[in-house]
Structure 1
Amino acid sequence: MTDPTTATSPAADAAPGTGLLRPHAEQQFAAELAALAAADDRPRPPGWVLSPAAVVTYLLGGTLPGGAVVTPKYVGPRRLVEVAVATLATDRALLLLGVPGTAKTWVGEHLAAAVCGRSTLVVQGTSGTAEEAVRYGWNYARLLSEGPSAAALVPSPVMVAMQRAQVVRVEELTRIPSDVQDALITILSEKTLPVPELGTEVQAARGFNLIATANDRDRGVNELSSALRRRFNTVVLPLPASVEEEVDIVTRRVAQLGAALELPPVPAAAEEIRRVVTVFRELRAGATEDGRTALKVPSGTLSTAEAISVVTSGLALAAHFGDGVLHASDVAAGIVGAVVRDPVADRAVWVEYLEAVARERPGWADFYRACRAVTG
């Protein structure tokens, strides 16, 4: 599931021989996409390289009739993925909504790769995103010398996707200023992008669509207008439902990242991964797993993506500066850094957790000592 809270194949993601730190989805899983296309005998919407059913298989994993294995890219409810894919098969845009770390960007990238074979048409939303990033801009040297012309126009990723019948991604939509957001209304409702300077317009080819992401906690940044929200079908991506599911996601993703970064393999990491996941889940929920102890909740999100980061950093410490085995001391600093965002309020929450839960929990003495040592 950031972002990267998904289950993936270490061998596939490492992309041996590419020399790339982080290949695009269509590069990482080119063999799987080709195998799916070869075995796919179901109807494909205009512009799609796979059928909707094959796209779902690509996201969730499975075994093809010829025996080829498709690794899961996302761990979560199947129905949510089906709804997302079905949305893209219509003329409705897709909004992936959820708290930080629920794999919105990751799912959007893999959906684009499976639907149109390209995931790189992206508008990254920030408070400084200008309208040109959504519509089009100009080569000002040519504009000044020649005046407005097709040659002087610089298309946005949205315009390129409309012309080429592909999927464009808009990341962090609610971080984009409201007036820039509204530039999407005509595009999504009329499927056209007017270019008044040239007295023309770009009409979307069949197969064009848009995937946007937004965080639940960012709703107050630049709230979507009701007119724009009506142009989307919204799919809310949840946090992992169980400890086992989240441990599986973290384990697989950490293995993939370790292979991509060429970290030496570190055995016996399962115990520390489960402890990191347990800590994050309990602090997120405000209660221990057994429900017997109420806990204060820190200000951070403590997402699955952050758990992956903590464990990956711990693996690097264990591999390069330790004995090659992941210990509590390797993940302690990362956990403290993830939990204690506010040095006063969050530190009090964390110390309370250590004393009330970690100190008393059987088998956690080493974890308690390691965390106390870096907490101070």
Structure 2
Amino acid sequence: MTVTGHVKTAPETTAQVLSAEQRHADELAFLAAYDDGARPPGWALTPRAVVTFIRGSDGEPLTLPAERRTGTLPATMTVAAKFVGERSLVERCVVTLAGERGLLLVGEPGTAKSMLSELLAAAVCGTSALTVQGTAGTTEDAFRYGWNYALLLAQGPTPQALVDSPVLTAMRSGRVVRIEEVTRCLPEVQDALVSLLSDRRMNVPELAGTEEGLIRAVPGFTVIATANLRDRGVSEMSSALKRRFNFETIHPIADADTETDLVRRQATAAVERAGAAYTVDDAVLDALVTVFRDLRSGRSDEGWDVERPGTVMSTAEAVQVAVSLGLSAAYLADGDALDLMPGHLLGVVHKDDQNDRARLLGYWDGPVRRRAEDGSAMWRRLWDLRESLR
């Protein structure tokens, strides 16, 4: 696809989104050779290398010992940070998995729980593909097994007719299985995990008396689950299931500059995947992140109180607004990006609660107006756009 102007040629790709192990294959291969220390059973990397893969090498190049160099690996590599969060949190997650205990990542929507889960699985066992997406319609088969009904009717219950779930596949191969949004599953479905996490075996009553009738987990098998704290439609976990997980809470990004940099990088990458150059001014991104942080916390940096909307003002939502601004500038040339921001913000805020529009207007009448009165040309322009929120 060829386009003109500042829009670039769309990159050739075979998939819209690559898995973590595909995106970072070079780093994973390098770290596997770089750190040859002790590894828990079934692990592709050492626990220390897993932490380095996720948190990065702090800008320092790592040098591969001469005796481990091959023609396919570079002599040095600087590992990029992929998750914004405390190193100690990542280390606790890694230690939990090394002990073959279930790990539950909890937090508000948009705090990168799923991304951290994917990165951990990719680094620990080389694949993040063994995943169950929890929904209200998820059945117990998703955690246990199903049947190939054609074979079942033709042969009866045989090992060949058994269809492994991602959980059962992970048990057989000693890998990590990811369960997204576990609290969206019904309680009776969740409880199928209790015996799997404690006994590390799965009974197949239909195959009783055969070798396949009792499947035991291979060393290395463990579970990473995620759960949102504020979403509707969730089911409470039983105390028995909670006891089988170590809980780690993923908080929103604390530092404004770090969050702005993350929004910029992810929005730039997304717009470039769409075949365009990212041209949104840094000052506009600063203002965008400031609005999100104020509405998320209920208080501005200046100390002014802000009424929080009912929706979650997550970093992930900020990235999507930044992407929309970038795509509008690239493909529509529809005015200044700052002029488009209020409309996109309203689209984020006004989802569930009818009063959230009024809360956003209240934010405009508070911090936006005060900053405009303090002489900021950008905030003055945003104040002038107040009517677009009605």
TM (normalized to structure 1)?
Answer: 0.91
Equivalent residue number for residue 176 of structure 1: 185
In structure 1, which of residues 345, 348, 353 is the aligned counterpart of residue 358 of structure 2?
348
**Unaligned stretches of 5+ residues in structure 1:** 1-14
Q: Distance in 1 between matches of 2:294 and 2:137?
A: 36
* AA of the residue aligned to 1:243: A
Offset of 1:24 from its aligned partner? 0.7
CA-based RMSD of the aligned residues comes to 1.8
SS of residue in 2 equivalent to 1:211? strand
- Which structure ranks higher in relative contact order (CA pairs < 8 Å, sequence separation ≥ 6)? 1
* AA of the residue aligned to 2:108: V
Equivalent residue number for residue 388 of structure 2: 374
Where does 1:57-68 land on structure 2 (aligned, <5 Å)?
A: 57-62=52-57, 63-65=61-63, 66-68=75-77
SS of residue in 2 equivalent to 1:96? strand
- Residues 184 and 233 in structure 2, CA contact (< 8 A), matched pair in contact too: no
- Residues 165 and 208 in structure 1, CA contact (< 8 A), matched pair in contact too: yes
Equivalent residue number for residue 306 of structure 2: 295
**Unaligned stretches of 5+ residues in structure 2:** 1-9, 64-74
TM (normalized to structure 2)?
Answer: 0.88
Where does 1:198-277 land on structure 2 (aligned, <5 Å)?
A: 198-199=207-208, 200-218=213-231, 221-266=234-279, 269-277=281-289
In structure 1, which of residues 31, 34, 45 is the aligned counterpart of residue 26 of structure 2?
31
Equivalent residue number for residue 3 of structure 2: none
Equivalent residue number for residue 160 of structure 1: 169
Identity, in percent, stands at 46
> Residues 79-102 of structure 1, C-alpha deviation per residue, up to 9 Å, x if partnerless?
000000110001211000101011
Q: Does residue 313 of structure 1 match 2:324?
A: yes
* AA of the residue aligned to 1:290: E
SS of residue in 2 equivalent to 1:94? strand
Instruction: Kindly name which structure, 1 or 2, has the bigger radius of gyration based on alpha carbons.
Output: 2
- Residues 163 and 202 in structure 1, CA contact (< 8 A), matched pair in contact too: yes
SS of residue in 2 equivalent to 1:359? helix
SS of residue in 2 equivalent to 1:70? coil
Q: Distance in 2 between matches of 1:373 and 1:193?
A: 61
Equivalent residue number for residue 283 of structure 1: 295
Offset of 1:151 from its aligned partner? 1.0
Q: Distance in 2 between matches of 1:261 and 1:197?
A: 50
Offset of 1:19 from its aligned partner? 2.3
* AA of the residue aligned to 1:335: L
SS of residue in 2 equivalent to 1:58? helix
- Residues 11 and 275 in structure 2, CA contact (< 8 A), matched pair in contact too: no
Q: Which runs of 4+ in 1 moved over 4 A?
A: none
Offset of 1:256 from its aligned partner? 2.2
Q: How many residues align?
A: 358
Q: Distance in 1 between matches of 2:225 and 2:171?
A: 15
